[in-house]
Amino acid sequence: MSRPYPVHEAKAKLSEILRRVKQGRTVAISERGRVIARVVPIEPPADLPSRLDQLARDGTLVRRKPAGRLQPLARRPGALRRFLRDRD
């Protein structure tokens, strides 16, 4: 990791910081000589099923059972016509 960037310098050199992060480096940002944040590269995206499993383990995602096929409450001829007429 390179030297920490003071906040005012980090704001002015955001493009440079992001370029370093893209190269896989971690950049620290400091305020009054104390490190307050680190900008780190993100992990490459995982495939969707493994990512969903990870989110479920973390409790971020709650998996539901598939609802199945929805059935109409009642089948009455002319429902579409009545719907369109009442909508106007």
Domain range for 18:
1-59
Question: Is residue 69, in this structure, part of any structural domain at all?
Answer: no
Domain count of the fold of the chain: 1
pLDDT at 26: 94
Q: In this structure, are strands 34-39 and 27-31 parallel, antiparallel, or unpaired?
A: antiparallel
Percent of the residues in the chain that have a pLDDT greater than 70, as a whole number: 97
Assigned domain for 37 exists? yes
Express each pLDDT in 18-59 by its tens digit: 999 999 899 999 999 999 999 999 887 778 888 888 888 988
**Structure-token match 């009545």, residue found:** 82
pTM of the prediction?
Answer: 0.49
Q: Is 38 helix (H, G, I), strand (E, B) or coil?
A: strand
What lies within 8 Å, CB to CB, of 61 at 6+ separation is 52, 55
On whether residue 84 sits in a domain, the answer given is: no
Whether residue 4 is contained in a domain is answered as: yes
Specify the higher pLDDT residue, 1 or 13: 13
Question: Does residue 21 fall inside a structural domain?
Answer: yes
User: Which CATH number covers residue 16?
Assistant: 3.40.1620.10
Question: What DSSP assignment string belongs to 10-46?
Answer: HHHTHHHHHHHHHTT--EEEEETTEEEEEE-PPPPPP
Distance CA 65, CA 37 (A): 40
